Structure 1
Amino acid sequence: MAKSKPRNRQKNRADPTGKPKPPADPELAAIREQRILPVLKDLQSPDLKTRSAAATAISNIIEDSKCRKLLLREQIVKILFEQTLTDSSLETRSAGWGILRNLALEEEADFCIHLYRQDVLTAIEGVVKTIIQTIESQDVPFSKLPTPQQSLVWSLTGSLISLISSLSEAQDEIVEAISKLATIPNFLFGLLSFEPTPLEIQNEALSCLATLVEDNKPLVETIVENGDWLKKLIQIKDSGLATNVAACGVLHNIFSTMQWSDHKTPVEGASDAFLIPTLVHTMETANSHSNGTNGHSSPDQVIQLALEIIASISTSLQEALENGHEKEFEGFADEPADIDADEMDADGDGVEDPAEGAEEDGESEDDEMNMDEIEADMELVTGADSNDDDAPSEELTLERLVRDAAPQILIFAKSPASPDNLIQSAALSALNNIAWTISSIDFSTGHLNSIRKVWSSFVQQTWQEIVSPVLASNTADIELATSITSLAWAVSRSVEGAIKLQPEEQRKFMALYQASKNLNSGPETNGAKKSAEEETDAFQGLGVKCIGVLGSLALHPAPIALNRQIGIFLLTVLAALPDTPAADAVEALNQLMDIYTDKNYDFDEPVFWGDGFYKHLEDIVPKARKLAKSIDKRKFGELRARIDEAVLNTTRFLKYKKTERGLD
C-alpha cells in the first residue's frame, strides 16, 4: 500500500519561537521601535531599578490603544507571567500586577478568559496569601512597616481586587472557579474588617463582592452562613462612610439571590426596603461631602451607583410581585400560542387562516364558546391582573421607592442633558424601572390607595418637568429621545394613561415614531434579515416605545377625540404591513386590544364601531399573518413567537368583540 504524503505542518505558519515582525503601518512601526521595544527591554533588565521603572512606565501607556496593542503583540503577558510577577522586588511585582489590571480594564472579555486559561487564578491566590501574611504578621505588625512599603501593599491589593472583578465579569465559569477558592472571599472580607484598610480599597473589595455574589447562590449561602460577614456588610451600610453605598450593592445582590423580601427574611432588616434610606440619604448629601470620598469613589460615582442599585431594587420588586401571581398568559386553552410541530402547516408555519383550519382548531359552528368563556379568555388577552391571595406583600419596599427614592431621583433626572451625563441616564433608568414596577401592581384591593395617590401626583410632575420639555425642544438627540420615550411609556402605563397632556403632545410622539423609521430603513425592517442581537433589541426600539406611550394615553378614560386620533394612528401603522417592522406591529396590535377591550368604555361605540376599527383590524390580520410566515422561527424565535401570538390573540379579540355586540 502506498504511503500517504506527509503534511507540511510549517506551511504558512509563523515561527513559534521567533520574534514578532514589525507592523506594516509606518506609524505603528515607529511607535514600536521608539517606545515599545525599549521599555520591554528595560522590563527584563538585570538592574532592579530599571525593571521597576519600566513596569511603571508600561502601566502608564496602556490607555493608549496603539501602545497597548503593540505591547500585546510583543507578548507582554508572557513576559509578565515568566518574569515580572515573580520578581524579587515588591515594587516591580506590584507594577506588574498593575499592568495586568489595566490590560483587563481596557481589553474585551476574551482577554480575561485568556488570562484564566493561563491559570492566573493560581498566581492571584499565591499573592493574596502573601498579602494576608503581611497584614496579619505578628512578628512585624503592619503598622510598623515603612510607609512606602505599606503603600506598595495597598497598591498591589487594589490591582488584584480590580483584576478579580474584571475576571468575574468576563465569564460565569470564572466566577464559579473564583468562588471555590476560599482564599479570595476570606481576603475580601478580611480587608473590610482590617481597620487600616483605606476606604478606596474597601470600596474596591465591596465592588468585587457585588460582582461575585450576583446570582451566585453557593457563595451567597457561604456568606449568610458566616454570620460575621453578613453583619459586617450591614454595619458598613449603616456606617455613614463613603463605603455605605457599595455595601448596599453587595447586600442587594445577596437579598435578590436568597429571595429575601420585606416579610420573608430570616434576618431582621435584611431586605431591600432597609437599603433605600441609606441610598437616598447618600444621594442627598454626596455633593456636599465630597471630602468623604476619594479615588474611585467621587461624589458623582457614588450617586450613579446609588441610582443603579435603586433601579435594580425596582426590578427585583417587580419580579417578586410577578412570581406571586398566576403565570403569564400563554395562549387560549383550546388554541395554544405555541403551536406543536405536528400542527404546523406544510410550509413550516404555525399560524393558519381561521377559515382554513376551523376543524383542526375546534372552532366549527357546532363548537362555539359561550360568552363567559370568551370573556375569561379576553381577560388573559388584555392582561387583566390576578387577585391571587398568595401574592407577596412588598408594601415597605414599594412605599420607600415611591415616597422617598422617586422624588430624589427626579432631581438628578432633570439635570441638563449632555453626552457624558451618566447620572441623568442612571436617574432616568431608575425612574423607568420604578414606573414599570408600579404598572404591574393590582391596586383594586384598595389597601395601596395612599401610595397610588402619591404616585399619580408624582407622575404628573415627572411628565411636566422631564417629558414635556424634551418634547417641546424637538431634540435631535436620539439617545435622549429614546430614554425619555421609554420613561413616558412607563409612567403613562403606571397610571393607565391618566396624564394631563400639553396641547399636541400626542402628535409629537407620532412624529417621533415616523422619525424612528429612518433609523432602521432598509430591506431588513420586517425582521427577517436581522441578526440575533438586533432581534433582541427590536422590542426595545424607539418605534415600539412610541407606540407604547400612545397606546397608554388612549386607555379609558381618555377623551374620545384623543382616543380616536391615537386609534387611527395605530391602525395606520398596521395598514402599512408588511413594511411595518414586526416588533412595531406586535405592539400596535397589543395596544389596540388593550384599548378597546370593554364595550362599556365611552369610546367603544363611537370609535371602535363608529369609525370602522373592527373592519380595519379584520383586513389587517391576513397581512400580519403573512408577515409572521416570512420570519424564520429557527433564526428569530422570539420575534416569530410574539407575532404569532399577537395574530392569534387579535383573531380571538375580533371574535370576542363581535360576540359582545351580539352579532353572532
Structure 2
Amino acid sequence: MGKAQYKKKTQGRRHNPLRVPDAHLGGGKGDGKADPAKEKQMLPILNKLKSPEYADRTWACAAICNLIHNDAATRRLFQSRNVVGELIERLSDSVDEVLVEASGALRNLAIDGGHEICNEMANKGIMSHLTVLIGKISNTIDSISSSSQPQKQTDEQFQNRKHLLSLAENVISLLWSLAEANPKTLAAVNAVGCEGLLIKVLAGRASLSIGVTLAASQALYSLTQDNPPFRKAVVNYPNALETIISVIEEDHLPVESSQNAKARKGKGKDKQTNGDVEQELPDGGALLRRVLVSGVIRNCVLVGSRTDERVNVSGLTSGTILPLVNGLLDVNLAQVVNRVQELVQQVPKEGILNLGKDLKTDHQSPAEVSLERIERNLSTVIIALEVLTTICAGLEDEDEEPVLNSAEAIAEQEDEDEDMEEMLADEDLIEMGRDPSFAIEEDRHAPPVNPGATLSHLLNTLQLPARLTALSHLTPLSFPPANNQPSPHPPTTSVLSVLHLRALEALNNLLLTTAASLPSRSVAVSPLANSVPIQQIWLDMFALIGTLGSEPDAMKLKGQEMRVEVLEMALGCIWGTVKVAPSQLDLQSNNIQTLIDCTSVLRSDVAKVRVTEALSALAARENVSVDENKVIGTWLIQVLTTSPSLSAEVLIAILNAIIDIYADETRSYDSPVFVQGGFLTQLSGTVAKVRSEVKKIDKRKDRQLRTQGEEVYENLTAFIKYRRSLRQ
C-alpha cells in the first residue's frame, strides 16, 4: 500500500517561488509568440548590459524585468539571446546598484520561469557568484548587528544600506528558488553553506527589513523540508534553534503595526486618492515569517529526539504553533475571490511599457498592492495548512528493511532468474500453493500512532474536519479556465489551487490518524468516530469531484495539473471517511460508479490504490446491498483480468480487495455475486500472471513492495483452494 499520510511536500507544488504557471497567463503565451514591440526593444537592452556606464547597465537590468514580467513568450525570446548568462556576469559588477538590479532580474526570472531557468542558471555558474555575495552580505550584516547604538546615517550610508537589503533579499530568494528546482540544484545550494546567513538574518531582524527576514524564513522552510544535510547543518549552527524559537514566540502584531505606520507615513495626497484599498489588509509579512519559522522547527526537530530534549517541540506546538495556525483557518474564500475580482477591474490596463531612464521595477498601482497582500495572506494560510498537516500526521512510517549487500543481492537475483525460467500453468501453481487454513488470516499490524496533538483537541475543540473541508470548497478562480483563456488574476488562481490541495492533505492525515486510533471493529460505535462529521465530508468531497468532473477535458490540458491533484486528494479524504466509519455512510445512487469512473483520470498509483481500498471497504460494509457489491466486485475482476498493464501497487491492492470482500462465504452477497458471477474461475486464470508480475518487482529497490506481492500471491492461491473446498 502506498504511504497513507503526507508529511513532506513535493517541491514542484510550491506556489511560490516557482511562479504562476505559464499556462495560467494570457497575452500571446498561448501561441508562444512574443509581443513585436517588446522584441524590437530587446537587442538595444541586451547591448546596454555591457555598457561602460553603470547607469546604462542598471537601466538594462530593470528593463529586462519589466519586459519579461508574466510573459513567457518574451522571456523565452530573451533566453534565446543568453540573457541569463549576461545577467550572471553582472553579479560580479563593481557597482552596487548594478548588483541589486541584476540579482533582482535573475530572481524574477527564477520566479517567472521556474525549474527551466533555475537549471540554466546553475549550468551557467551562478553558484560561484552567489557564494561571493553570501560572504559579502553576511559580513555587512555582522557589522550592522554589532553596532551598539544606531548612528545617524549620511545619504551615502543610507543608500549603501538600502542596496544591501535589496541585494540580500534577491540573493536569498534565488537560493530559495534554486533549492526548489531539482535535486541537482538543491545539492548545489546545500554545498554553499548558506544556513549561517539565513540564521544571522533572523537573529538581526530588528535592524533589517521585513522583506529580507521573510525571504530568509521562506528559504529556511524550503531547505529544511526532506533535506537531511541542511537540517543537520541548521541544528548544529550556534544558537540557530534558539533564534528560530524566539521568532516563533515573538508577537507579530507590533511588527505589522509598525509596517503599516511606515506605509502611511508621508503619503499625503496619495493616501487620499488610494482610499482604503491599501489599508484593507495588514502587510502580512511578519505573520507569514512567524508561520514559516514554525514549520522550520518542526522540520528540523523530531519529537523524542536528542535535540528535542532542549527544544520540547510538543510543548511549543501545543502552546504556540497550533494556536497560531488555528487562527488562520477561517478565511472566507468566497469573499476573497469577490474582492480580487473587484480589484482586478481597477488595475491599469497593460500598454506599451515606458522604458525611460528612471525606470523602476516596483511600479505598482494601489489595486496591485492590495492584490499582492491578498496573495501573501493566502500564502500564509497555505504554510499554516502545511504545518497543520505534519501535526495531524500521526501514523509513523515503518522503517524500510536494510538493503542487501552485494553478495546477497547477486545470490537472490540468481535464484530469481531461475524462478522466472520456471513457467508453470495456473493449476500447477494453485496446487503448489499453501494450505488454505491460514490463507486469509494476515498479520496486518497497525502502525504506531503519534499525533502532534491530542485527537480529541483537534476533532472536538478545534473542529478541524469541518473547517478544513470548508477550505476545500472551490471558487470561480480556483483553477484556470478550461477554454485556454488566462485566469482573470493568475497569482490568485495559482495560490487558491494549492490552498485547496493543502487543506485536503491535512484533512486526509487527520482522518487516517483517527482511523488508526479507533478501537477494534468489534466495537459498534466509537466516540472518536462520532467526533468526525463523516457524512458531511463525504457529501462535500463528492460535490468537489462533481465540479471537477463537469469539465472532464480540462484535466487533460497542460497547465491544469492541479485539477487532477485536487481530485486525487479529495479521493484520499473519501478513503479516510470509509476507514473511520464505513457503516455510518449514507451512499447516493451514483457514488460507487463515480469512484470507479475517477480511476480512468488518475495519474498516481497511490491514488488508484486509495480508491481501490475505499471501494473494497464499501463493498464489505455491514449494510451493503447485493447490487452495490456486484458493481464493485465485477469492476475489480474486470480490471484484474482485462487490464493489459497494472502497476504492482494497484495489482496488489485489487487482489487484497477481492480476497477481503469474499473471504466470508456467509455474507448475503457472496452467492449471487461471487458464485453466480464465476469469480472463482476468473481468479484461477490469473495466478500465473500474478506470479510473473510479482517476480518483476526488484527486491533490491523496493523490498517492502516485493514482500507484499509475495504475500498476496500466496494468499491468492490459498484463497482459491479454500473457495474450491467449499464446493465439496
TM range (shorter): 0.7 to 0.9
Q: For 1:144, which of 153, 165, 172 is the aligned residue? A: 153
Q: Is the 8 A contact 1:262 1:396 kept in 2?
A: no
Per-residue CA deviation, residues 45-91 of structure 1 (Å, 9 max, x unaligned), is: 22232221111101222332233223233232333343x22333321
Is the CA contact (8 Å cut-off) linking 2:613 and 2:653 kept in structure 1?
yes
Q: Which residue is 2:660 aligned to? A: 594
Distance 2:175 2:517 in 1: 39
Q: Within the alignment, does 1:77 sit opposite 2:123 as a pair? A: no
Any idea what SS the aligned residue of 2:44 has?
helix
Going from structure 1 to structure 2, the CA distance change for 1:460 and 1:205 (only over 3 Å counts) comes to same
Using a 3 Å threshold, how does the CA distance of structure 1 residues 548 and 416 change in structure 2: closer, same or farther? farther
More deviation, 580-589/615-624: 580-589
Secondary structure class of the residue paired with 1:319: coil
Structure 2 counterpart of 1:462: 537
The 5 A counterparts of 1:541-556 are 541=608, 546-556=611-621
Q: Which residue of 2 aligns with 1:186?
A: 196
**CA-CA distance at 1:261 after TM superposition:** 5.2
Give how far 1:473 is off.
9.4
Question: Could you say which residue in structure 1 is the equivalent of 2:47?
Answer: 41
Moved more, 588-597 or 556-565: 556-565
Shift of 1:408: 2.5
Cα deviation, residue 273, structure 1: 4.3
1: CA distance between counterparts of 2:430 and 2:656? 24
Measured in 2, the distance between the counterparts of 1:110 and 1:471 equals 34
Match of 1:212 in 2: 223
| Equivalent position of 1:438 in the other structure | 514
Contact conserved, 1:207 with 1:246, CA < 8 A, in 2?
Answer: yes
- Of the candidates 418, 428, 445, which is equivalent to residue 356 of structure 1? 428
> Could you tell me how far 1:191 is from its partner in structure 2?
1.4
| CA displacement at 1:41 relative to structure 2 | 1.6
Q: Pick from 124, 132, 153: which aligns with 2:164?
A: 153
Using a 3 Å threshold, how does the CA distance of structure 1 residues 415 and 112 change in structure 2: closer, same or farther?
A: closer
The 3-state SS of whatever aligns with 2:533 is: helix
> In the aligned structure 1, how far is the partner of 2:221 from the partner of 2:471?
24
| Residues 472-507 of structure 1 deviation map (CA, whole Å, 9 limit, x = unaligned) | 996335537834751453223321523332431434
Structure-to-structure mapping, 1:629-640, within 5 angstroms: 629=692, 633=696
What is aligned with 1:331? none
1:131–1:157 CA contact under 8 A, matched in 2: yes
- Measured after TM superposition, the shift of residue 160 of structure 1 is 0.5
Q: Find out whether 1:416 has 2:493 as its counterpart.
A: no
SS in 1 for 2:94: coil
Residues 306-385 of structure 1: pairs in structure 2 closer than 5 A: 306-315=384-393, 317-320=394-397, 322=398, 341-343=414-416, 348=420, 352-353=424-425, 355-357=427-429, 363=433, 369=435, 371=437, 373-374=438-439, 378-380=441-443, 384-385=444-445
Identity of aligned residues (%): 19
Give the gaps of 5 or more residues in structure 2. 1-30, 253-283, 340-368, 403-410, 480-492, 556-562
Mapped partners of 1:497, 1:26: distance in 2: 50
Q: Cα distance, 1:303 vs. partner?
A: 1.0
Secondary structure of the corresponding residue to residue 129 of structure 1? helix
Which residue number corresponds to residue 402 of structure 1? 459
Q: Deviations over 1:197-246 (max 9, x none)?
A: 23332221111011222233343334334563212222322334254555
Classify 1:596/1:358 alpha carbon distance in 2 versus 1 (closer, same or farther; 3 Å): closer
Aligned to 1:608: 670
Distance 1:573 1:266, change over 3 A: same
Amino acid in the other structure paired with 2:607 = Q
- Contact kept in structure 2, 1:470 and 1:484, CA below 8 Å: no
1:273 touches 1:397 (CA, 8 Å); kept in 2? no
What amino acid is the match of 2:153? K
What's the CA shift for 1:588?
3.1
**Structure 2 counterpart of 1:493:** 578
1:140-193 CA deviation, whole Å, 9 max, x = no partner? 9687264555443322221101110122223445444544545x2222112112
Counterpart of 1:125 in structure 2 is 131
| SS at 2:660 equivalent | helix
- The reply on whether 1:198 has 2:209 as its aligned counterpart is yes
Alignment partner of 1:214: what SS? coil
User: What's the counterpart of residue 564 of structure 1?
Assistant: 629
Higher RCO, 1 vs 2 (CA within 8 Å, ≥6 residues apart): 2
Q: Which has the larger displacement, 393-402 or 31-40?
A: 393-402
- Is the Cα contact below 8 Å between 1:318 and 1:437 reproduced in 2? yes
> Is 2:174 aligned against 1:163?
yes
State the alpha-carbon separation in 2 of the partners of residues 615 and 56 from structure 1.
72
Q: Give the residue type in structure 1 aligned to 2:682.
A: D
CA separation in 1, counterparts of 2:137 and 2:122? 21
Q: Who is 2:273 aligned against?
A: none
2: distance between equivalents of 1:103 and 1:505? 47
Preserved contact between residue 544 and residue 570 of structure 2 (Cα < 8 Å): no
Would the alpha carbon gap of residues 93 and 415 (structure 1) be closer, same or farther in structure 2, given more than 3 Å must change?
same
Structure 1, 91-100 or 172-181: larger mean CA deviation:
172-181
Equivalent position amino acid for 2:459 in 1: V
The answer to whether the Cα contact below 8 Å between 2:178 and 2:186 also exists between their aligned partners in 1 is yes
Aligned to 2:719: 653
Aligned length: 581
Equivalent AA in structure 2 for residue 461 of structure 1: Q
Letter in 2 for 1:512: D
Name the SS for the 2:134 alignment partner. helix
Report if the CA contact (8 A) 1:554-1:562 is conserved.
Answer: no
Counterpart in the other structure of 1:619: 682
TM (norm. structure 1) is 0.73
Q: How does 1:16-31 map to 2 (within 5 A)?
A: none
- Conserved in 2, the CA contact under 8 Å of 1:45 and 1:51? yes
Aligned residue identity for 1:164:
L
What is the CA–CA distance in structure 2 between the aligned matches of 1:178 and 1:298, rounded to whole Å? 25
User: Which residue of the partner structure matches residue 345 of structure 2?
Assistant: none
Check the 8 A contact 2:683/2:720 in 1, yes or no: no
User: Cα deviations across residues 496-519 of structure 1 (Å, max 9, x unaligned)?
Assistant: 523332431434426635xx54x5
Amino acid at match of 1:620: L
Aligned partners of 1:180 and 1:538: how far apart in 2? Answer: 34
Partner residue of 1:305 out of 380, 383, 386 = 383
In the alignment, which of 277, 295, 298 is matched to residue 323 of structure 2? 277
* Residue aligned with 2:550, SS: coil
Residue deviations 1:509-530 (CA, integer Å, cap 9, x gap): 26635xx54x59xxxxxxxxxx
Change (3 A) 1:196 1:624: farther
In structure 1, what is the equivalent of residue 122 of structure 2?
116
**Structure-2 change in CA distance of 1:502 and 1:453 (3 Å):** closer
What is the identity, as a one-letter code, of the residue corresponding to 1:299? N
Q: Secondary structure at the match of 1:606?
A: coil
Q: Pick the structure with greater CA Rg.
A: 1
